[in-house]
Structure 1
Amino acid sequence: MDGFLGGQLPFFILMFVVVYFFMIRPSIQKQKKEKRFAEALSKGDKVITKSGLHAKILDINDDGTVILESGAGKMKFEKSALSMEMSAKLNAPAEKK
């Protein structure tokens, strides 16, 4: 029992701390950012879906869906299908070179 407490227990605690800071915490932070992104969406915003469809938001419903307009017409998507990263790049101001 003394060998476990003296050598292996600190190792397991260190492993948990490493896993938490390198895997669990970043995942939680990303989920919070995506939630803020979904809450900040408004009519007229240009977005890109995770499947790569470029569209403009026509309407936002209370049930977590959005009506998008693209070259293919009007479509209904879940807010979770919108890509935060690609939409941010689309709406970012162009860099001057």
Structure 2
Amino acid sequence: MNFISVAHAQAAAPAPSAGSTLMSLLPIIVMFVILYFVMLRPQMKKQKELRAMLAALAKGDEVVTSGGVVGKITKVSENYIGLEIAANTEVQVQRNAVTMVLPKGTIKSGV
């Protein structure tokens, strides 16, 4: 029967100020900024470099595909490249399958 006195003792707490709300959100904001600089920005830079490399592919370049096939480019079209992987052996692969351009002369003269 002492409930009414307890209810009066629990007066309304003061409303949180705008400063305390900002301070409670600050760690979340800082985590997103760190995430951007540690993960997202380097990934965007890597994608930009890959697009530039794929756009610069030309006949005679020596490349490695995502499947590990090494060869010399013989034909270049918008979506596909002709890749000579051995003497008189040419395959067509998607342009996006190229992962790396090798320095000239990496492939022995037999190819």
Using the size of structure 2 for normalisation, the TM-score is 0.70
Which residue does 2:64 correspond to in 1? 48
Structure 2, unmatched stretches of 5+, are 1-15, 107-111
RMSD over aligned Cα atoms = 2.2
State whether structure 2 residue 46 is matched by structure 1 residue 30.
yes
Distance in 2 (CA, whole Å) between partners of 1:6 and 1:65 is: 54
Q: Which amino acid aligns with 1:25?
A: R
User: Structure 1: 5+ residue runs without aligned partners?
Assistant: none
- Within the candidate set 31, 39, 43, 1:15 is matched to 31
CA distance in 1, matches of 2:39, 2:104: 28
Q: Please say if residues 70 and 85 of structure 2, whose CA atoms lie closer than 8 Å, have aligned partners that are also in contact.
A: yes
Count of aligned residue pairs for this structure pair: 88
TM-score, normalised via structure 1 length? 0.79
Identity, % of aligned pairs?
A: 34
* Separation in 1, partners of 2:91, 2:62: 14
The SS at the match of 1:57 is strand
Report what 2:23 is aligned to.
Answer: 6
Q: Which has the higher helix share?
A: 1
Give the match for residue 66 of structure 1: 81
- The structure number with the bigger radius of gyration is 2
